[in-house]
Structure 1
Amino acid sequence: MAKYKVVFLGPEDDNLEYEKAEMSDLDVEFVKANPRSEGEAMEVVKDADAILNRAGWGSEQFIKSTKNCKVLAVYSHGFNHVDAEAATEHGMMITNGAGMCAEEVSNQAVAFTLALNRQVVQYTLQLRDGGKWNGGEFSPIEPLDEQTLGIIGFGNIGRQIARKLGAWRMNTLVYDPYCPPWLIKEYGVEQVWELNDIFKKSDYVIAIVPLNPETYHMIGKEQFDHMKESAYFINVCRGSVVDEKDLIEALNNKKFRGAGLDVFEQEPADPNNPLFSMPNVIVAPHIAGQSTRSAWLSRRRASQQVAAVLRGQRPSALQNPAVTSKLELLSSMPANEPKL
């Protein structure tokens, strides 16, 4: 009998290549399951030492069904489907795939910024849908190096956005009350202390924060009412960070010029969502994090976190640090060479 039981929730035909490689030095039994109900999920994880979660399970009931589970690792940046407070109370660590798609999501934000600035989609559709040739239809096009970028959230991805759009010499503002001052200085950005100030001062506002009780609907009518009529709003994090009804109303009322949206409150989104038919809105079906690299890197990140916990180490991507008060002292997770 193996020392540790690691339950993988996801497709049962998954060969767990990266997961097995990262835990090759540990005495682990892998159990694969793709439960169809929460009850089935609870049954399969009840005696797990660790959970690799590629599925959507994460309720308080699910978490408290485990007896000795030390860690639940999700494969994505977002972990809003997991009840982190319940996990903390239960003594279970939650880790995410921090860094697994920072380049990809920041690239999507940059792509939206450039496409909105140059009106790429609008002019493509102008020519495709009837062959009209009118280079002034979507003017004016302002020079990016004279525009102000506002970033809401200055974590891994927010910093990548600042670095990349800094190449266009944009003036960059940041709203993130949890960002230490040395990072603000290092990236040469200006920190603002009121959320509304980002909307007042910016020509492009990019939201890149985790979804949690603090950030749910943090952006709505009040913020949109502060925007310049010439400004754009971009969301590449989670749809429910924004009150979508307020967003639709603001766009209908021309409170600002347009938007780039990778995420929506309901996903898959309703095909009749009015955002899809607005000519000044460009959209994508929550694909900002996708690439051939992020697909395997998410596996490496998740399995490294679980391996660290099973070795008695504090995982580097721990998302509920308050849980450590309930645990024995953990050593820090060192940087390790990937096994695969």
Structure 2
Amino acid sequence: MDQRICEELGIQVRNTPNAFTLPVADSVMGYILAFARRQVWMDRAVKAGTWQKIPGKSLSECTLGVIGVGNVGKAVLRRAHAFGMTLLGNDIAPVATDFVAELKVEMTSLKDLLNRADFVSVNCDLNPTSWHLINAATLREMRSDAVLVNTARGPVVDEPALIEALKAGTIAGAGLDVFEIEPLPEDSPLKKMDHVMLAPHNSNSSPAAWERVHWNTIRNLLLGLDIPIDDFESLKTRV
């Protein structure tokens, strides 16, 4: 949305920030756990009649790199810290020093993060600086045994470049909740890749989060109409 034009036309623009932080962060950890512990692949093997013990890794042995240490990025890092992961962060904006110190996050360059992380989680906004931030060149900076997780916005990742990297073994896998074109086209090569986990832009799924968005939207509407909301919490209990 062009906020400058809206401002010129006197159109108020409001949002519902931080509404889906927790379910999205949970989804990131779900992808990381699935790839580290290999449950999805062992489940497929057992159901296919193969008793195969596929080697996994403990998260305490792994390094997580988070690109975009905003609300969601911080929530991901808090969860990963509880699992004993080594934590790397990258952001174009300063990150609170108390948060970094509390979780022992090493803020570093994008190149260094990609070089070192077992898992790379994309949690930045989509803006002119992040469009195709993950591209052929940055994918080559990742370790060949690393996994990319994108629950942010599809165009942050250059999808054709990612497909080529997955085909070539440049990286080991990907967990993708968002795509450049949604719904994901039927002929997308991603649908045929065994080392890729896909979801239909659903990492924000949570009844409680949806409820927060609905009420925050109503609150924004009342504010926009200059309707007093001093007793807004009481209003919620009466509806």
Partner in structure 1 of residue 32 of structure 2: 113
Deviating beyond 6 angstroms after TM superposition, the runs of 4 or more aligned structure 1 residues are 333-336
CA–CA distance in 2 between the matches of 1:261 and 1:110? 13
Q: Is the 8 A contact 1:207 1:235 kept in 2?
A: yes
Partner in structure 2 of residue 152 of structure 1: 67
Partner in structure 2 of residue 132 of structure 1: 50
Instruction: With the length of structure 2 as denominator, give the TM-score of the two structures.
Output: 0.90
CA RMSD of aligned residues (A): 2.2
Letter in 2 for 1:119: R
Equivalent residue for 1:191, pick from 91, 100, 107? 107
Corresponding residue SS for 2:128: coil
Equivalent residue for 1:339, pick from 232, 235, 239? 235
CA–CA distance in 1 between the matches of 2:159 and 2:121? 15
> For residues 210-231 of structure 1, what are the alpha-carbon distances to aligned partners after superposition, in whole Å with 9 as ceiling and x for unaligned?
2222221111111110111111
Letter in 1 for 2:66: I
Partner in structure 1 of residue 3 of structure 2: 84
Equivalent residue for 1:218, pick from 133, 143, 149? 133
Structure showing greater radius of gyration is: 1
Query: Which has the larger share of helix?
Result: 2
Deviation at 1:88, TM superposition (A): 4.0
Q: Does 1:283 align with 2:202?
A: no
CA–CA distance in 1 between the matches of 2:21 and 2:65? 18
> Mind listing any 5+ residue stretches in structure 2 that lack a counterpart?
none
Q: Is the 8 A contact 1:87 1:94 kept in 2?
A: yes
Q: Is the 8 A contact 2:69 2:95 kept in 1?
A: no
Deviation at 1:312, TM superposition (A): 9.3
Equivalent residue for 2:215, pick from 292, 296, 300? 300
CA–CA distance in 2 between the matches of 1:201 and 1:115? 20
Matches within 5 A, 1:1-340: 82-128=1-47, 130-136=48-54, 139=55, 141-182=56-97, 183-192=99-108, 194-311=109-226, 337=233, 339-340=235-236
Deviation at 1:297, TM superposition (A): 1.2
Q: In 2 relative to 1, CA 334–260 (structure 1 residues): closer, same or farther, beyond 3 Å?
A: farther
> For residues 198-250 of structure 1, what are the alpha-carbon distances to aligned partners after superposition, in whole Å with 9 as ceiling and x for unaligned?
21111100001122222211111111101111111000011111000000000
> For residues 57-112 of structure 1, what are the alpha-carbon distances to aligned partners after superposition, in whole Å with 9 as ceiling and x for unaligned?
xxxxxxxxxxxxxxxxxxxxxxxxx2334334444343222121111111100100
Letter in 1 for 2:105: V
Q: In 2 relative to 1, CA 88–127 (structure 1 residues): closer, same or farther, beyond 3 Å?
A: farther
CA–CA distance in 1 between the matches of 2:147 and 2:209? 28
Q: In 2 relative to 1, CA 190–88 (structure 1 residues): closer, same or farther, beyond 3 Å?
A: farther
Q: Is the 8 A contact 1:159 1:187 kept in 2?
A: no
> Mind listing any 5+ residue stretches in structure 1 that lack a counterpart?
1-81, 314-332
Q: Is the 8 A contact 2:37 2:58 kept in 1?
A: no
CA–CA distance in 2 between the matches of 1:222 and 1:210? 20
Deviation at 1:181, TM superposition (A): 3.4
Letter in 1 for 2:171: F
The share of aligned pairs that are identical, in percent, is: 31
Partner in structure 2 of residue 60 of structure 1: none
Q: Is the 8 A contact 1:109 1:234 kept in 2?
A: yes
Corresponding residue SS for 2:190: helix
Q: In 2 relative to 1, CA 85–240 (structure 1 residues): closer, same or farther, beyond 3 Å?
A: farther
